[in-house]
Amino acid sequence: MEAYLLNLFILISIYSILGVTLNFIMGYAGIYSLAHAVFFGVGAYAGSFMAMHFNASIFVTLPVAMVAGGLLSLILALPALRVRGEYFVAASLGLQVLAVTIFSEWKGVTGGIGGLIGIPPLDIAGFEIFKPSQFIFVTVVALVIILFIINRLVHSSFGRSLRAIRDSESAAAAFGKNVPLIKTISVVISSALTAVAGVLYASYLSFINVESFMLDTSVLIMAMVIIGGTGTQAGPIVGAALLLILPSLISYLDFLPQTEIGSIQQIIYGLGMALLMIYRPGGIVGRKKHSETGKE
């Protein structure tokens, strides 16, 4: 039971990082990405590649993963600079589909469909972290640091510029804000921090394959942010905790078929997303009427 809870908390904190970083571009910059799992995957693969072939120290794996995620995100930033939300949804959906093909085909780095086995544990200045009871501290600390970084960004002049862009791009441009630059920086920061979650995830499980980084994962992360509350600090974490506890709650209900837990979980959050948008667009944590999250 204790091992089970530890595992659950570790996953919640990793997914919270994913939610918090997605919320940063979705809630504050109005960029709705269906490709968040791509950067999660890039971080995981890049970190594992370094750890398996060069050095497992986090001072090697984390920077490499973050740079890889950040650089790749420029591909995503490019269309985001040009166009409105609906175009961007399409572009990110396309990128997600393409990335899954690359993850399953680029055998030299990703191990193909079979994935990578035997990824070394995290190495922090010579200490190898492989016990879950130690790992939970690492993930929670990582989450707190990332929350802190994003909190600082949101409350700086940069964050105000972001919200200005979300609410009205032309007004922000008229006030002399460099809209393309601000959007690009926010996408790069978000993706680089997402890659951190990838490194943690890979070294925690010591096994990864493409199935963790498919469209379903991007959708799950988006659902966490939306259900928790877009554009709020605590929302993505609440959402991550809720959606990850949900499958275990469902498995307690004996009358539901155990083989369909995954489907039932998705049905519940799919319905949850639709109902929230009708009755409470700001999410669980968000305000009732959503002056904070919407963009025409």
Partner 1 sequence: MLALQLTITGLQTGALYALTAVGFSLIFGSTRIFHFAHGATFIIAAYLFYYMNVSGYGLIAGIAAATAGAIAFGLLLNRFVYVPIQRDEGSFFTVFVASFGIGIVVQNVVGMIFGRGYVTVSTPLSFSVEIMEGLYVAPIAWISMLCAAVFFGILWGFLKYSQMGKALRALADNPELVRVFGLNPRFIAASAFTIGSILVVPAAIISGATSGLNPAMGHHVMLISLAATIVGGIGSVPGTLLAGLALGLAESLALLYVDSQWTEAVTFAILFLFIIIRPSGLLGRSAAH
Burial 63-81 (b: 16+ CB within 10 A, else e): ebbbebbbebbebbbebbe
Please identify, using beta-carbon distances, which residue of 188 and 223 lies nearer to partner 1: 223
Binding-residue pattern over the window 6 to 45 for partner 1, x denoting contact by CB under 8 A: ------------------------x-x-------------
Burial 112-125 (b: 16+ CB within 10 A, else e): eeebbeebbbbbee
Contact between 90 and partner 1 (CB under 8 A)? Answer: yes
Cα separation, 270 vs 219, in Å, equals 10
Contact between 83 and partner 1 (CB under 8 A)? Answer: yes
* Of the residues 70, 235, 272, 286, which one makes contact with partner 1 according to CB under 8 A: 272
Contact between 71 and partner 1 (CB under 8 A)? Answer: no
Contact between 263 and partner 1 (CB under 8 A)? Answer: yes
User: Exposed, middle or buried by CB within 10 Å (0-12, 13-18, 19+), for 275?
Assistant: exposed
The residue whose two tokens read 């009755």 is 279
Cα separation, 294 vs 92, in Å, equals 19
* Greatest alpha-carbon span in the chain: 60
* Of the residues 97, 140, 147, 284, which one makes contact with partner 1 according to CB under 8 A: 97
Task: Find the part of the chain contacting partner 1 (CB under 8 A) among 45-53, 133-141, 195-203, 215-223.
Answer: 215-223
Give the Cα-Cα-Cα angle 195, 199, 200 (nearest 5 degrees): 115
Binding-residue pattern over the window 273 to 292 for partner 1, x denoting contact by CB under 8 A: xx-xxx--x-------xx--
* Of the residues 101, 133, 251, 258, which one makes contact with partner 1 according to CB under 8 A: 101
Judged by the rule CB under 8 A, the positions of this chain that interact with partner 1 are 30, 32, 78-79, 82-87, 89-91, 93-95, 97-98, 101, 104-105, 169, 215, 219, 222-223, 226, 230, 260, 263-264, 266-267, 269-274, 276-278, 281, 289-290, 293-296
